[in-house]
């Protein structure tokens, strides 16, 4: 077993790893930027090393600084957490070259699965189902048009590198291929330093299913069940649950066993997640995440397995002495990602937390690094807490979660607690009908561009009427716009009313129109 682990991450996941290390009696080292001097994981670690200024490129992504810190304190292993360098094969190689253990999969698996084209090729070889698409990288616009015609519209242009929804563009019409292709490449280049893209069939109403895999260096590979992550905004997960309410027992057994067999063929070690789209009873491989997942707590809840501790033990050459039949699944678990964002505009809301109260009760878990008096820095991801509930069944789980949200206090900064409260009141979500909740704001905004100019005059009239407190006139104008086309109403109302967010009435109207647009066009409700 390791004697000292350096945690190359921040926030709730750094604290989660620290907790696992303590339970294994392993000393911990926290690395941090100057913006995270007062972070909870820094305060609780046995040692801490400042590795740079706030910007992540100069701190949490600064490989030389992290390696130097590890050598300075004598760490014999590094846990990368999630995000940042967790799937960076070069980082893993450099760590190993310095005789430090990387807590994660083999370097080759990081390389293969980090390249979406290569990942699809491997998936096809090992028998995973694929979405119809181009056989490789699409180099130019003419090829993109030919591939789109062959696959059939609508299609999705996707960045080969990276993730998080960046470099992804939906093409509904042939005339839009050129702009979408160039936009996807530019976005991919800016986000990942790699503008390679490929094309695949766009599934209009899918659900997002993923299977948790765990394997050791002795050839043992198991699945820990599936999770459903269909409630998303701009390809960022909002709510996850396990097991999926959509799958039959036969479907569940099929995709979980298929995933574990595929990982075994690969010779996979450590934690990994194989992600699929699911539509009309069929599964389509998306990608494999070669790291610990943000949503791992719901898997822990239904299996009773601390997968972070198991990941650390595997890295220290521990053998998993289970059989698949030994892994039991109990009850239902749901996780809400609480972000420091306005629940309606989704604008980030960094700042000082003056009051924080964590909910409690049987089956309630909070993974968070925040506390009263903590200043949320503006430099990083807005995720500040994960609220997890576990119940005997899905209904009980939802009831526990709803009450926990009501009890939770994060003030005075805006957070997405209200958004989650509204989502859990929605009949479709309560009934498990989640496929319409892939909320893609970018797609809607793109569709609305022409409508902005068309309805300028009405929008301007509504704006000034709101400013003057003439709510009856505002209602009249909004009614006219909604009657003509809700797509017309959405961009103008939200843009104009968004400039006067201090006017609660105007904000409410904008929000109602947005919700109506989403619902009317099959994207679910906010």
HEC secondary structure over 49-86:
EEEECCCHHHCCCCHHHHHHHHHHHCCCEEECCCCCCC
- Are 59 and 46 in contact by the 8 Å Cβ rule? The answer is no
Q: Is the pLDDT of residue 59 over 80?
A: yes
Mean pLDDT computed over 368-375: 97
Instruction: Please give the residue that has the higher pLDDT: either 90 or 166.
Output: 90
Closest CA to 433 of 525, 344, 332, 517: 525
Residue 430: both structure tokens together: 């309560």
Residue 13: both structure tokens together: 């996941």
| Residues in contact with 63: Cβ distance below 8 Å, sequence separation at least 6, in sequence order | 85, 90, 91, 94
pLDDT-derived band at 23, boundaries 50, 70, 90: very high
Q: Is the pLDDT of residue 521 over 50?
A: no
pLDDT-derived band at 188, boundaries 50, 70, 90: confident
Neighbours of 461 (CB within 10 A): 18
Mean pLDDT computed over 24-36: 98
Q: Is the pLDDT of residue 1 over 60?
A: yes
CA 387 – CA 364 distance, rounded (Å): 8
Q: Which CATH number fits domain 132-201: 3.40.50.2000, 3.30.1490.20, 3.30.70.380, 2.40.10.10?
A: 3.30.1490.20
pLDDT-derived band at 373, boundaries 50, 70, 90: very high
Closest CA to 280 of 162, 435, 174: 435
Q: Is the pLDDT of residue 371 over 90?
A: yes
H or E segment to which residue 479 belongs: helix 471-484
Closest CA to 336 of 309, 305, 364, 362: 364
Q: What is the pLDDT of residue 455?
A: 42
Q: Which CATH number fits domain 105-130+203-330: 3.90.1200.10, 3.30.470.20, 3.40.50.720, 3.30.450.20?
A: 3.30.470.20
Q: What is the pLDDT of residue 466?
A: 66
Mean pLDDT computed over 264-274: 97
Region of 162 (left: φ > 0; alpha: ψ -120 to 50; beta: rest) is left
Q: Is the pLDDT of residue 479 over 70?
A: no
Q: Is the pLDDT of residue 450 over 50?
A: no
Q: What is the pLDDT of residue 346?
A: 78
- The per-residue pLDDT for range 273-298, each reduced to its tens digit, is 999 999 889 999 999 999 999 999 99
- Which of the residues are catalytic? 291
- The average confidence (pLDDT) of the chain is 86
Q: What is the pLDDT of residue 344?
A: 75
Q: Is the pLDDT of residue 4 over 90?
A: yes
Phi, psi of 476 (to 5 degrees): -65, -45
Q: Which CATH number fits domain 340-431: 3.10.620.30, 3.40.50.620, 3.90.1150.10, 3.30.470.20?
A: 3.30.470.20
Q: What is the pLDDT of residue 170?
A: 86
Q: What is the pLDDT of residue 202?
A: 87
- Are 117 and 159 in contact by the 8 Å Cβ rule? The answer is no
Q: What is the pLDDT of residue 526?
A: 38
pLDDT-derived band at 508, boundaries 50, 70, 90: low
Q: Is pTM beyond 0.75 here? A: yes
pLDDT-derived band at 495, boundaries 50, 70, 90: very low
Closest CA to 462 of 448, 451, 477, 449: 477
pLDDT-derived band at 353, boundaries 50, 70, 90: very high
pLDDT-derived band at 266, boundaries 50, 70, 90: very high
Q: What is the pLDDT of residue 167?
A: 82
Which of 223-227, 417-421, 428-432, 450-454 shows the lowest mean pLDDT across its residues?
Answer: 450-454
Q: Which CATH number fits domain 4-103: 3.40.50.2300, 3.40.35.10, 3.40.50.20, 3.40.50.300?
A: 3.40.50.20
Q: Is the pLDDT of residue 486 over 80?
A: no
pLDDT-derived band at 524, boundaries 50, 70, 90: very low
Mean pLDDT computed over 43-72: 97
Which ranges of 394-439 does DSSP label H, i.e. alpha helix? 394-407, 417-423, 427-430
Q: Which residues of 200-237 are buried (b: 16+ CB within 10 A; e: fewer)?
A: bbbbeebbbbbbbbbbbeeebbbbbbbbbbbbbbeeeb
């Amino acid at each position: 077993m390791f004697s000292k682990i350096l945690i190359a991450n921040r926030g709730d996941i750094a604290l989660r790893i620290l907790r696992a290390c303590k339970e294994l009696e392993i000393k911990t080292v926290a690395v941090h930027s100057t913006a995270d001097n007062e972070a909870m994981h820094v305060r609780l670690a046995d040692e801490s090393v400042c590795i740079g200024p706030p910007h992540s490129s100069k701190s949490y992504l600064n490989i030389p600084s992290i390696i130097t810190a590890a050598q300075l304190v004598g760490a014999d292993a590094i846990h990368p957490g999630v995000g940042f360098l967790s799937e960076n094969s070069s980082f893993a190689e450099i760590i190993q070259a310095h005789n430090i253990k990387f807590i994660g999969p083999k370097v080759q698996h990081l390389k293969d699965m980090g390249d979406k084209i290569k990942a699809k090729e491997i998936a096809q070889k090992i028998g995973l189902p694929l979405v119809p698409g181009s056989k490789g990288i699409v180099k130019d616009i003419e090829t993109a048009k030919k591939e789109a015609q062959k696959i059939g519209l609508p299609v999705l242009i996707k960045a080969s590198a990276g993730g998080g929804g960046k470099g992804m563009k939906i093409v509904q019409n042939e005339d839009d291929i050129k702009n979408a292709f160039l936009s996807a490449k530019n976005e991919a280049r800016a986000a990942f330093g790699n503008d390679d893209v490929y094309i695949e069939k766009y599934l209009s109403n899918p659900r997002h299913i993923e299977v948790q895999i765990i394997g050791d260096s002795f050839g043992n590979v198991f699945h820990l069940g599936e999770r459903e992550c269909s409630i998303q905004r701009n390809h960022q997960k909002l709510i996850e649950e396990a097991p999926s309410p959509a799958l039959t027992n036969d479907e569940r057994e099929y995709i979980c066993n298929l995933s574990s067999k595929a990982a075994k063929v690969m010779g996979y070690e450590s934690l990994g997640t194989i992600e699929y789209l699911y539509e009309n009873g069929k599964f389509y491989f998306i990608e494999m995440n070669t790291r610990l997942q943000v949503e791992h707590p719901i898997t822990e809840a239904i299996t009773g397995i601390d997968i972070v501790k198991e990941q650390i033990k595997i890295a220290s050459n521990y053998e998993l002495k289970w059989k698949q039949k030994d892994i039991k699944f109990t009850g239902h678990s749901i996780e809400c990602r609480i972000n420091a964002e306005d629940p309606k505009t989704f604008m980030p809301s960094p700042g000082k937390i003056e009051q924080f109260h964590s909910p409690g009760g049987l089956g309630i878990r909070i993974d968070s690094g925040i506390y009263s008096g903590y200043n949320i820095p503006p430099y990083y991801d807005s995720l500040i807490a994960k609220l997890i509930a576990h119940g005997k069944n899905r209904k009980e789980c939802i009831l526990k979660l709803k009450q926990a949200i009501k009890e939770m206090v994060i003030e005075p900064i805006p957070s997405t607690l209200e958004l989650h409260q509204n989502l859990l009141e929605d009949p479709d979500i309560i009934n498990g009908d989640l496929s319409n909740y892939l909320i893609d704001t970018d797609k809607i905004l793109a569709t609305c561009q022409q409508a902005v100019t068309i309805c300028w005059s009405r929008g301007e009239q509504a704006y000034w009427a709101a400013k003057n407190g003439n709510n009856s006139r505002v209602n009249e104008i909004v009614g006219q716009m909604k009657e003509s086309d809700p797509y017309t109403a959405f961009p103008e109302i939200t843009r104009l009313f968004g400039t006067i967010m201090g006017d609660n009435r105007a904000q409410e109207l904008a929000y109602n129109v947005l919700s109506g647009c989403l619902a009317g066009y099959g994207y679910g409700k906010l």
